[in-house]
Structure 1
Amino acid sequence: MTRIITPTDRETVAGRLLEGSVKRSYDPVVDLDWDAPLEDGKYFLPPYVLSLYGTPMWESMSETQRVELSRQESANILSVGYWFENILLQALLRNLLHHDPTSLHTRYALTEMGDECRHMTMFGRAVEKMGAKPYQLRWYQAIAANLLPKTFRGTMLWVAALIGEEIFDATQRRVLDDPQLQPMISRVMRIHVTEESRHIRFAREGVRRRVAESHRLERLWVGSVQGLGGLLLQRLFTNPAMYQRAGLDPKQARRQALANPRFRENQRRGFDSLAEFLEDTGLMRASSRAMWRRGGFL
Structure 2
Amino acid sequence: MTAAMERDELPGNVVSLQDQGPSEVSERLLASAARLSRNAMTEIDWSLPMEPEKYGCSPEWSSLYGTDYWNEMTQEQRISLTRHEFASIMCIGIWFEMILQEMVIRDQYLGDYHDPEFQFALVEVADECRHSIMFAKASEKMVGRSYRPSRRIGRLGKIFKRTAKNEVAYAGILVAEEVLDVFQRGCMRDDRVLPFIRTVNEIHVLEESRHMKFAREEVRESVEGISWARRQFSALYVAMGAYFIVSSLIQPQAYADAGLDVDRARREAAGNEHFHSMIRSSCAHLMEFLDDVGLLTKPAMRYYRKVHML
TM-score range with shorter-chain normalisation?
over 0.9
Q: Is the Cα contact below 8 Å between 2:167 and 2:218 reproduced in 1?
A: yes
Following TM superposition, by how much is the alpha carbon of 1:79 offset from its aligned partner in structure 2, in angstroms? 0.4
- Whole-angstrom CA distance in 1 between matches of 2:139 and 2:82: 12
Following TM superposition, by how much is the alpha carbon of 1:231 offset from its aligned partner in structure 2, in angstroms? 2.6
- Scaled by the length of structure 1, what TM-score is found? 0.94
Matched, 1:99 2:118: no
- Whole-angstrom CA distance in 2 between matches of 1:140 and 1:44: 28
- Whole-angstrom CA distance in 1 between matches of 2:19 and 2:226: 13
Following TM superposition, by how much is the alpha carbon of 1:129 offset from its aligned partner in structure 2, in angstroms? 1.3
- Whole-angstrom CA distance in 1 between matches of 2:24 and 2:243: 35
Residue matched to 2:34: 22
Residue matched to 2:189: 177
Residue matched to 1:70: 82
Q: Is the Cα contact below 8 Å between 2:19 and 2:25 reproduced in 1?
A: no
1:264-286 CA deviation, whole Å, 9 max, x = no partner?
Answer: 01211231110111111111000
Moved more, 196-205 or 23-32: 23-32
Following TM superposition, by how much is the alpha carbon of 1:10 offset from its aligned partner in structure 2, in angstroms? 2.2
- Indicate the SS of the match to 1:175: coil
Moved more, 20-29 or 224-233: 224-233
Following TM superposition, by how much is the alpha carbon of 1:16 offset from its aligned partner in structure 2, in angstroms? 0.4
Q: Any stretches of 5+ residues in structure 1 without a counterpart?
A: 1-5
Amino acid aligned to 2:40: P
Residue matched to 1:267: 279
- Whole-angstrom CA distance in 2 between matches of 1:84 and 1:7: 27
Residue matched to 2:13: none
Residue matched to 2:293: 281
- Indicate the SS of the match to 1:237: coil
Following TM superposition, by how much is the alpha carbon of 1:258 offset from its aligned partner in structure 2, in angstroms? 0.8
Q: 1:127 aligns with which of 134, 139, 143?
A: 139
Segments of 4+ moved more than 4 angstroms: none
1:158-187 CA deviation, whole Å, 9 max, x = no partner?
Answer: 100111101211331232111111000000
- Whole-angstrom CA distance in 2 between matches of 1:257 and 1:188: 25
Residue matched to 1:215: 227
**RMSD of aligned residue pairs (Cα, Å):** 1.5
- Indicate the SS of the match to 2:71: helix
Following TM superposition, by how much is the alpha carbon of 1:132 offset from its aligned partner in structure 2, in angstroms? 2.9
Q: Any stretches of 5+ residues in structure 2 without a counterpart?
A: 1-17
Tell me the number of residue pairs that the alignment of Structure 1 and Structure 2 aligns: 293
Moved more, 168-177 or 10-19: 168-177
Amino acid aligned to 1:182: L
Residue matched to 1:158: 170
Moved more, 97-106 or 153-162: 97-106
Following TM superposition, by how much is the alpha carbon of 1:244 offset from its aligned partner in structure 2, in angstroms? 1.1
Identity across the alignment (%):
34
Residue matched to 1:3: none
Matched, 1:52 2:69: no
- Whole-angstrom CA distance in 1 between matches of 2:264 and 2:153: 23
- Whole-angstrom CA distance in 2 between matches of 1:293 and 1:79: 24
- Indicate the SS of the match to 1:226: helix
Matched, 1:297 2:306: no
Residue matched to 1:197: 209
Residue matched to 1:85: 97
Q: 1:8 aligns with which of 7, 17, 20?
A: 20
Amino acid aligned to 1:139: R
Residue matched to 2:121: 109
Q: Is the Cα contact below 8 Å between 2:153 and 2:244 reproduced in 1?
A: no
Residue matched to 1:137: 149
- Whole-angstrom CA distance in 1 between matches of 2:251 and 2:224: 38
1:7-36 CA deviation, whole Å, 9 max, x = no partner?
Answer: 523221111000001000012111212122
- Indicate the SS of the match to 2:56: coil
- Scaled by the length of structure 2, what TM-score is found? 0.90
Following TM superposition, by how much is the alpha carbon of 1:240 offset from its aligned partner in structure 2, in angstroms? 1.5
- Indicate the SS of the match to 2:220: helix
Moved more, 133-142 or 51-60: 133-142
Q: Is the Cα contact below 8 Å between 2:64 and 2:275 reproduced in 1?
A: yes
1:185-236 CA deviation, whole Å, 9 max, x = no partner?
Answer: 0000000001000000000011111122433332221123322134313421
Residue matched to 1:258: 270
1:44-94 CA deviation, whole Å, 9 max, x = no partner?
Answer: 011100000011111111111111101110110010110010000011111
